[in-house]
Amino acid sequence: MRASSLFTTITAFMASQKPETVYPINGLGVTPAMGWNNWNAFACSVNEDLLISTAEKMAAFGLRDAGYEYIVLDDCWSLGRDSKGNLQHDPAKFPNGMKYVAEKIHSLGFRFGMYSDAGSYTCARYPGSLGYEKQDAITFASWDVDYLKYDNCHNQGLSGTPKITSERYRTMTDALRAAGRPILYAICNWGEDFPWKWGPTVANSWRMSGDIYDSFDRPDPRCPCSGDEYSCAYPGSHCSVMNILNKAASIIDTSLPGAFNDLDMLEVGNGGMDDEEYKSHFSFWAAVKSPLLMGNDVNVMDAKALSILNNPAIIAVSQDPLGVPAVRRWRYYVNDTNQYGQGEIQMWSGPLFGGDQLVILLNAGNSSRTMNATLADIFCVATGIAKEIQEDWDVYDLWANRMDDATAQSIIDGTSIMGAGTSVASFYYNATQVSYKEGLAANDPLLYGKLTGTVTAGGAIETEVPRHGVAMLRLRKRTTTSFKVQDV
Amino acid sequence: MRASSLFTTITAFMASQKPETVYPINGLGVTPAMGWNNWNAFACSVNEDLLISTAEKMAAFGLRDAGYEYIVLDDCWSLGRDSKGNLQHDPAKFPNGMKYVAEKIHSLGFRFGMYSDAGSYTCARYPGSLGYEKQDAITFASWDVDYLKYDNCHNQGLSGTPKITSERYRTMTDALRAAGRPILYAICNWGEDFPWKWGPTVANSWRMSGDIYDSFDRPDPRCPCSGDEYSCAYPGSHCSVMNILNKAASIIDTSLPGAFNDLDMLEVGNGGMDDEEYKSHFSFWAAVKSPLLMGNDVNVMDAKALSILNNPAIIAVSQDPLGVPAVRRWRYYVNDTNQYGQGEIQMWSGPLFGGDQLVILLNAGNSSRTMNATLADIFCVATGIAKEIQEDWDVYDLWANRMDDATAQSIIDGTSIMGAGTSVASFYYNATQVSYKEGLAANDPLLYGKLTGTVTAGGAIETEVPRHGVAMLRLRKRTTTSFKVQDV
Amino acid sequence: MRASSLFTTITAFMASQKPETVYPINGLGVTPAMGWNNWNAFACSVNEDLLISTAEKMAAFGLRDAGYEYIVLDDCWSLGRDSKGNLQHDPAKFPNGMKYVAEKIHSLGFRFGMYSDAGSYTCARYPGSLGYEKQDAITFASWDVDYLKYDNCHNQGLSGTPKITSERYRTMTDALRAAGRPILYAICNWGEDFPWKWGPTVANSWRMSGDIYDSFDRPDPRCPCSGDEYSCAYPGSHCSVMNILNKAASIIDTSLPGAFNDLDMLEVGNGGMDDEEYKSHFSFWAAVKSPLLMGNDVNVMDAKALSILNNPAIIAVSQDPLGVPAVRRWRYYVNDTNQYGQGEIQMWSGPLFGGDQLVILLNAGNSSRTMNATLADIFCVATGIAKEIQEDWDVYDLWANRMDDATAQSIIDGTSIMGAGTSVASFYYNATQVSYKEGLAANDPLLYGKLTGTVTAGGAIETEVPRHGVAMLRLRKRTTTSFKVQDV
Amino acid sequence: MRASSLFTTITAFMASQKPETVYPINGLGVTPAMGWNNWNAFACSVNEDLLISTAEKMAAFGLRDAGYEYIVLDDCWSLGRDSKGNLQHDPAKFPNGMKYVAEKIHSLGFRFGMYSDAGSYTCARYPGSLGYEKQDAITFASWDVDYLKYDNCHNQGLSGTPKITSERYRTMTDALRAAGRPILYAICNWGEDFPWKWGPTVANSWRMSGDIYDSFDRPDPRCPCSGDEYSCAYPGSHCSVMNILNKAASIIDTSLPGAFNDLDMLEVGNGGMDDEEYKSHFSFWAAVKSPLLMGNDVNVMDAKALSILNNPAIIAVSQDPLGVPAVRRWRYYVNDTNQYGQGEIQMWSGPLFGGDQLVILLNAGNSSRTMNATLADIFCVATGIAKEIQEDWDVYDLWANRMDDATAQSIIDGTSIMGAGTSVASFYYNATQVSYKEGLAANDPLLYGKLTGTVTAGGAIETEVPRHGVAMLRLRKRTTTSFKVQDV
Determine how many CB atoms are found less than 10 A away from the CB of residue D430: 15
CB contact under 8 A, C2 and D123: yes
- What residues of chain C lie within 8 A of the CB of B4, using their CB? 211, 222, 236-238
**Which stretch of A386-390, B155-159, B192-196 has the lowest confidence by average pLDDT?**
A386-390
Q: CB neighbours of B336 closer than 8 A, spacing ≥ 6? A: B343, B365, B366, B367, B369
Q: Which amino acid is at C127?
A: P
Q: How far is CA C379 from CA A329, B157, C121, C255, D236, in A?
A: 55, 51, 47, 19, 19
Mean pLDDT of chain C: 92
- What number is the average pLDDT over the span C293-313? 97
Distance separating alpha carbons of residues C360 and C328, to the nearest angstrom: 9
DSSP B121: B
- What residues of chain C lie within 8 A of the CB of B197, using their CB? 155, 157, 159, 234
Q: Is the pLDDT of residue A469 over 60?
A: yes
Residue C467: CA count within 13 A, CB half-sphere: 9
Query: Tens digits of per-residue pLDDT, B31-61?
Result: 999 999 999 999 999 999 999 999 999 999 9
- What residue ranges define each of the domains in chain A, with the CATH number in brackets? 32-318 (3.20.20.70), 327-401+449-477 (2.60.40.1180)
CB contact under 8 A, B124 and A13: yes
Distance from CA of B289 to the nearest CA of C (A): 16
Q: CB neighbours of A412 closer than 8 A, spacing ≥ 6? A: A61, A301, A302, A303, A306
- What residues of chain A lie within 8 A of the CB of D166, using their CB? 156-157
Nearest CA in chain D to C328: D221
pLDDT at residue C11, as a whole number = 35
Mean pLDDT of chain D: 92
- What number is the average pLDDT over the span B354-365? 98
Distance separating alpha carbons of residues B82 and B127, to the nearest angstrom: 11
Facing C221 at nearest CB: one of B5, B231, B328: B328
Nearest CA in chain D to C161: D160
Q: How many residues does chain C have?
A: 488
Query: Tens digits of per-residue pLDDT, D328-373?
Result: 999 999 999 999 999 999 999 999 999 999 999 999 999 999 999 9
CB contact under 8 A, B151 and A1: yes
Nearest CA in chain A to B192: A197
- What number is the average pLDDT over the span C37-41? 96
pLDDT at residue A248, as a whole number = 97
Facing B230 at nearest CB: one of C75, C125, C234: C234
Distance separating alpha carbons of residues D488 and D484, to the nearest angstrom: 11
Q: Which amino acid is at C36?
A: W
Facing A234 at nearest CB: one of D22, D194, D328: D194
Q: Is the pLDDT of residue D480 over 80?
A: no
User: Inter-axis angle of helices D133-142 and D162-179, to 10 degrees?
Assistant: 40
Helix, strand, or coil (residue C4): helix
Query: Which of D65, D74, D193, D211 is flagged as catalytic?
Result: D211
Nearest Cα residue to A118 out of A102, A131, A135, A101: A131
Query: Which of A65, A74, A151, A392 is flagged as catalytic?
Result: A151
Beta-strand runs (E) in D222-264: 260-262
Provide DSSP, C50-77: HHHHHHHHHHHTTHHHHT--EEE--S--
Distance separating alpha carbons of residues D272 and D218, to the nearest angstrom: 11
Q: Is C382 or D340 the better-scoring residue by pLDDT?
A: D340
The H or E element spanning position C16 is helix C7-16
Distance separating alpha carbons of residues D255 and A485, to the nearest angstrom: 56
- What number is the average pLDDT over the span B376-399? 86
Distance separating alpha carbons of residues B457 and B455, to the nearest angstrom: 7
Distance separating alpha carbons of residues D460 and B211, to the nearest angstrom: 53
Beta-strand runs (E) in A411-468: 450-455, 460-465
Beta-strand runs (E) in C354-448: 357-363, 369-374, 393-397
Chains contacting A with at least 3 CB pairs below 8 Å?
Answer: B, D
Nearest Cα residue to B73 out of B110, B27, B109, B107: B110
For residue A272, name the pLDDT band (cuts at 50, 70, 90): very high
Query: Tens digits of per-residue pLDDT, D202-212?
Result: 999 999 999 99
Distance separating alpha carbons of residues C311 and C449, to the nearest angstrom: 9
Q: Is the pLDDT of residue B328 over 70?
A: yes
Q: Is the pLDDT of residue D7 over 90?
A: no
pLDDT at residue B184, as a whole number = 98
Is the reported ipTM for this assembly greater than 0.90?
yes
- What number is the average pLDDT over the span C135-153? 98
Distance separating alpha carbons of residues A393 and A456, to the nearest angstrom: 6
Phi, psi of C429 (to 5 degrees): -120, 130
For residue A424, name the pLDDT band (cuts at 50, 70, 90): confident
The strand pair at C469-477 and D34-37 is best described as unpaired
- What residues of chain A lie within 8 A of the CB of B281, using their CB? none
B151 is a catalytic site residue: yes
Distance separating alpha carbons of residues D278 and D303, to the nearest angstrom: 13
pLDDT at residue A220, as a whole number = 96
DSSP C252: G
pLDDT at residue D482, as a whole number = 46
Distance separating alpha carbons of residues B103 and B142, to the nearest angstrom: 12
Q: Is the pLDDT of residue D6 over 70?
A: no
The strand pair at A260-262 and B327-333 is best described as unpaired
Query: Tens digits of per-residue pLDDT, C308-361?
Result: 999 999 999 999 999 999 999 999 999 999 999 999 999 999 999 999 999 999
Q: Is the pLDDT of residue A488 over 60?
A: no
Nearest Cα residue to D266 out of D331, D219, D310: D310
Phi, psi of B464 (to 5 degrees): -85, 135
Mean pLDDT of chain B: 92
Alpha carbon A134 to chain centroid, angstroms: 29
Chains contacting D with at least 3 CB pairs below 8 Å?
Answer: A, C
Query: Tens digits of per-residue pLDDT, D410-469?
Result: 999 987 887 666 678 889 999 999 999 999 999 999 999 999 999 999 999 999 999 999
- What number is the average pLDDT over the span B86-114? 98
pLDDT at residue B384, as a whole number = 55
- What residues of chain C lie within 8 A of the CB of B253, using their CB? 222, 237
For residue A230, name the pLDDT band (cuts at 50, 70, 90): confident
The strand pair at A78-81 and A292-294 is best described as unpaired
Query: Tens digits of per-residue pLDDT, C95-122?
Result: 999 999 999 999 999 999 999 999 999 9
- What residues of chain C lie within 8 A of the CB of B3, using their CB? 123-125, 153
3-state secondary structure A332-359: EECCCCCCCCCCEEEEEEEECHHHCEEE
Q: Is the pLDDT of residue A159 over 60?
A: yes
What sign for the dihedral angle of Cα C370, C374, C378, C382?
A: negative
Beta-strand runs (E) in A158-308: 184-187, 205-207, 260-262, 292-294
For residue B480, name the pLDDT band (cuts at 50, 70, 90): low
CB contact under 8 A, C221 and B163: no
pLDDT at residue D21, as a whole number = 47
pLDDT at residue C382, as a whole number = 54
Q: Is the pLDDT of residue D185 over 70?
A: yes
Q: Is the pLDDT of residue A383 over 90?
A: no
Percent of chain A at pLDDT > 90 equals: 86
Q: Is the pLDDT of residue D394 over 60?
A: yes
Nearest Cα residue to B164 out of B129, B194, B136: B194
Facing D166 at nearest CB: one of A157, A188, A214: A157
Query: Tens digits of per-residue pLDDT, C398-429?
Result: 999 999 999 999 999 987 887 666 678 889 99
- What number is the average pLDDT over the span C202-212? 97
Distance separating alpha carbons of residues D209 and D203, to the nearest angstrom: 16
Do A398 and A318 meet the contact criterion of CB atoms below 8 Å apart?
A: no
Q: Is the pLDDT of residue B339 over 70?
A: yes
Query: Tens digits of per-residue pLDDT, D109-145?
Result: 999 999 999 999 999 999 999 999 999 999 999 999 9
Do B188 and B150 meet the contact criterion of CB atoms below 8 Å apart?
A: yes
Q: Is the pLDDT of residue B410 over 80?
A: yes
Provide DSSP, B49-81: HHHHHHHHHHHHTTHHHHT--EEE--S--EEEE
Distance separating alpha carbons of residues B368 and B365, to the nearest angstrom: 8
- What number is the average pLDDT over the span A187-198? 97
Distance separating alpha carbons of residues A241 and A232, to the nearest angstrom: 16
Distance separating alpha carbons of residues D15 and C481, to the nearest angstrom: 73
Do A244 and A212 meet the contact criterion of CB atoms below 8 Å apart?
A: yes
Q: Which residues of C380-410 are buried (b: 16+ CB within 10 A; e: fewer)?
A: bbbbbebebbebbbbbbbbbebbbeeebbbb
First to last CA, chain B: 34
Mutate to test the interface with D, among A115, A161, A222, A340 (most CBs of D within 10 A): A222
Q: How far is CA C57 from CA A356, C47, C62, C303, C415, in A?
A: 81, 16, 9, 14, 7
- What residues of chain C lie within 8 A of the CB of D159, using their CB? 161-163, 194, 197
**Which stretch of B69-73, C221-225, D299-303, D380-384 has the lowest confidence by average pLDDT?**
D380-384
Distance from CA of A483 to the nearest CA of B (A): 30
Nearest CA in chain C to D209: C1
pLDDT at residue A5, as a whole number = 44
Helix, strand, or coil (residue B3): helix
pLDDT at residue D483, as a whole number = 44
CB contact under 8 A, C123 and B1: yes
Do D453 and D484 meet the contact criterion of CB atoms below 8 Å apart?
A: yes
pLDDT at residue B22, as a whole number = 52
Q: Is A421 or A111 the better-scoring residue by pLDDT?
A: A111
- What number is the average pLDDT over the span B273-302? 97
Q: Is the pLDDT of residue B5 over 70?
A: no
First to last CA, chain A: 34
Q: Is the pLDDT of residue C19 over 50?
A: no
Helix, strand, or coil (residue A216): coil
Distance from CA of A414 to the nearest CA of B (A): 46
